[in-house]
């Protein structure tokens, strides 16, 4: 029997480390239980403790009974409740205070005695219901009590900011956050740039202004994130200091967040929606790109736009449905990564989205850059596929405060109109008389049932004038990324002869062997001018030569020169590659008057 007892004891001892480590984990029931409080509180003999218990801020919970009870074998005896009850022996030294707007109630126990040690529960409703959290109370004779873990009660898919401070002595020491597990404390993030894969794109570590202080923000919190963490300075288990952080995740109000991964095509666009709580309608909202050492702000609701994203990002806030829409176009491989929708509200959700760039062709096509001179006409074209035929199409002019729709009825620019060529499925934005104030970025896009879809950005450059004032701030040439020259379209005023000839109907036949056919009537004018110039030069040379010959000899008559020199002696212009009309054969020329 002694051998069996020894083996049993050894077996139980082998389980102690595992159980000790497992106690650091919140059990499944605790994750599913919306009530949360400290796992353990400590107080000095004759001193006091304050227990903070959290609950979801629903209407029912706000008005429900809150209580603090002491566990017995098969029940939990009420010590104090929000209904005004106080158990005998606790009058004058226990109180409960509810803060329904914050979703928290406090239990204060004073005059602590050694007999107060034990297990308690804070909860909502009836004592025998599961809506409660177990708290162990320890009373110490002093002189010190252990530091309690800092509690964080966060809604599912919400975010949390943890601040840790270790003083000037640790200003240059490695800072970190680790999560307690069976095998130790798993590193989540540190100041060396290491980030756990499960937290990539949704965690940030930032140094605070005070030396030795830093903050950690985690967003998109899930059930698996609940647990006990340590923030520290130094190396866990070897050097430095640590601080316990107890994080609880609960399922609160249902605020949809949509897909966490968004796919975009090179050269195309993406539309990202972020939902926020109604309480954050008046807060500053911004969109940033996540990096291991911070989140670079791209655009915010106050009109800020990063120079690197000028002309290709816009933000739309819809307070009616608490939705923030961000559109990013002209996508490149460098745009892949994690993006955060954020507000300046500490309790607000911070939404994380991953953008992946894939190969493919954008659905909206057209020129990326158009150039025009002041006073000349210009046209921006945007072609769309059949799948967008029933969608709402629009053109808008981009500014730092959004993209202002351009409509045919816009009286501020009477000669501006938008129409759609249904046959070619092309949306046209026409300028009859371009002004310098028209230069900038224009977007064509589609919408369906009020939801923004794909967009395409086109830059209009205007030359030939001087811009005064601030009306042309929509365009900043110094901040623009140069576009390939092959994608540019020049629209200068046409020459008079081209305008006249363009009115004559012609049948054009373009072949691969005649690449210059696209020149049209201007090729005819160029050929005639070239032949005339050659003839004038030869005539001048002939006159000079003739004059010198006359001076040298009187035996040569003028008539002999007239006899020996004629226009037939000149080579035909066609033998040198010229043509009356390079785009037409003789039988294809248009007859103007007569037979």
pLDDT in tens, 134-143: 999 999 887 7
Q: Which residue pairs from 240-243 have beta carbons closer than 8 angstroms and sit at least 24 positions apart in sequence? A: 240/166, 240/170, 240/173, 240/174, 241/166, 241/170, 243/147, 243/150, 243/164
Higher pLDDT among residues 300 and 423, named by residue: 300
Q: What is the pLDDT of residues 532-562, one digit of tens each?
A: 666 777 777 666 555 555 444 343 333 333 3
DSSP for residue 122: E
**CATH class, 261-358 region:** mainly beta
Chain-wide mean pLDDT for the chain? 75
With bands split at pLDDT 50, 70 and 90, how would you rate the model's confidence at 531? Answer: low
Tracing tokens 């540019």 back to the chain, one arrives at 488
pTM above 0.85, yes or no: no
**Domains 151-250 and 261-358 belong to one CATH topology:** yes
The predicted structure's pLDDT at residue 155: 83
448-464 confidence digits (pLDDT tens): 888 899 999 999 999 88
Of 3.40.50.300, 3.30.70.260, 3.90.180.10, 2.60.40.10, the CATH number of 369-465+476-491 is 2.60.40.10
- Identify which of 323, 311, 313, 317 has the alpha carbon closest to the alpha carbon of residue 355: 313
pLDDT band at 322 (very low <50, low <70, confident <90, very high): confident
- What's the pLDDT tens digit per position in 268-282? 999 998 888 777 677
Could you read off the pLDDT of 68-87 as tens digits, one per residue? 999 988 889 999 999 999 99
Question: Measured between alpha carbons, how far is residue 37 from residues 219, 224, 309, 589 in Å?
Answer: 21, 18, 45, 93
pLDDT at 136: 94
Which range in 33-37, 348-352, 378-382 is most confidently predicted, on average pLDDT?
A: 378-382
Sign for the CA dihedral angle at 496, 499, 500, 502 comes to positive
pLDDT of residue 483: 33
CATH architecture of 24-148: Sandwich (2.60)
Q: What is the signed CA dihedral for 56, 58, 60, 64, rounded to 10 degrees?
A: 40
User: What pLDDT was estimated at residue 300?
Assistant: 93
Tokens read off for 199: 């937290």
Q: What's residue 412's pLDDT? A: 34
The reported pLDDT for the residue numbered 582 is 37
Q: Give domain limits for the chain.
A: 24-148, 151-250, 261-358, 369-465+476-491, 517-588
Please write the tens of the pLDDT for every residue from 92-107.
999 999 999 889 999 9
CATH of domain 151-250: 2.60.40.10
Is residue 202 within 8 Å of 338, Cβ to Cβ? yes
């Amino acid at each position: 029997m002694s051998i069996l007892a020894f083996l049993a004891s050894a077996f139980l001892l082998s389980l102690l480390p595992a159980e000790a480590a497992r106690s650091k984990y919140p059990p499944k029931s605790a994750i599913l239980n919306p009530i949360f409080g400290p796992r353990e509180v400590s107080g000095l003999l004759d001193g006091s403790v304050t227990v903070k218990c959290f609950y979801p801020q629903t209407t029912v919970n706000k008005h429900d009974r809150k209580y603090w009870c002491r566990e017995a074998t098969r029940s939990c005896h009420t010590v104090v409740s929000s209904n005004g009850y106080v158990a005998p022996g606790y009058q004058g030294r226990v109180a409960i205070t509810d803060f329904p707007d914050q979703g928290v109630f406090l239990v204060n126990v004073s005059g602590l005695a050694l007999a107060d040690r034990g297990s308690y529960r804070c909860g909502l409703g009836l004592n025998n219901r599961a809506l409660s959290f177990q708290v162990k109370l320890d009373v110490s004779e002093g002189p010190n009590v252990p530091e309690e873990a800092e509690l964080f009660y966060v809604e599912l898919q919400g975010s949390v900011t943890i601040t840790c401070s270790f003083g000037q002595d640790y200003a240059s020491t490695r800072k970190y956050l680790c999560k307690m597990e069976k095998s130790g404390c798993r590193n989540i993030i540190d100041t060396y740039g290491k980030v756990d894969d499960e937290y990539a794109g949704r965690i940030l570590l930032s140094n605070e202004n005070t030396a030795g202080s830093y903050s950690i923000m985690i967003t998109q919190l899930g059930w698996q994130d609940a647990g006990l963490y340590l923030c520290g300075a130094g190396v866990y288990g070897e050097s430095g200091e640590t601080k316990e952080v107890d994080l609880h995740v609960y399922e609160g109000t249902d605020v949809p967040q949509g897909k966490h991964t968004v796919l975009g095509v090179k050269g195309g666009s993406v539309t990202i929606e972020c939902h926020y709580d109604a309480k954050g309608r008046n807060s500053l909202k911004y969109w940033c790109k996540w990096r291991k050492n911070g989140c670079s702000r791209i655009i915010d609701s106050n009109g800020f736009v990063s120079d690197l994203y000028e002309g290709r990002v816009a933000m739309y806030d819809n307070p009616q449905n608490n939705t923030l829409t961000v559109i990013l176009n002209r996508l490149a491989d460098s745009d892949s990564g994690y993006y955060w929708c954020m507000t300046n509200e500490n309790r607000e959700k911070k939404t994380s989205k991953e953008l992946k760039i894939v190969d493919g062709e954008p659905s909206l096509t057209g020129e990326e850059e158009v150039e025009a001179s002041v006073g000349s006409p210009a046209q921006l074209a945007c072609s769309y596929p059949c799948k967008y035929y029933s969608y709402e199409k629009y053109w808008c002019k981009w500014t730092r405060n959004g993209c202002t729709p351009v409509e045919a009825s816009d009286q501020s620019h009477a000669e501006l109109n938008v129409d759609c060529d249904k046959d070619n499925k092309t949306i046209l934005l026409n300028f009859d008389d371009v002004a310098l104030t028209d230069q900038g970025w224009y977007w064509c896009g589609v919408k369906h049932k009020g939801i923004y879809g794909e967009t395409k950005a086109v830059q209009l450059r205007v030359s030939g004038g001087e811009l005064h004032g601030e009306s042309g701030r929509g365009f900043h040439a110094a901040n623009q990324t140069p576009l390939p020259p092959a994608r540019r379209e020049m629209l200068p005023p046409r020459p008079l002869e081209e305008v006249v000839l363009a009115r004559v109907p012609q049948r054009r036949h373009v072949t691969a062997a005649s690449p210059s056919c696209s020149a049209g009537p201007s090729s005819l004018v160029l050929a005639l001018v070239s032949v005339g110039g050659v003839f004038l030069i030869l005539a001048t040379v002939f006159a000079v030569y003739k004059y010198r010959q006359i001076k040298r000899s009187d035996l040569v008559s003028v008539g002999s020169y007239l006899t020996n020199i004629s226009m037939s002696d000149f080579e035909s212009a066609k033998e040198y590659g010229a043509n009356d009309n390079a785009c037409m054969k003789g039988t294809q020329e248009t007859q103007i008057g007569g037979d």
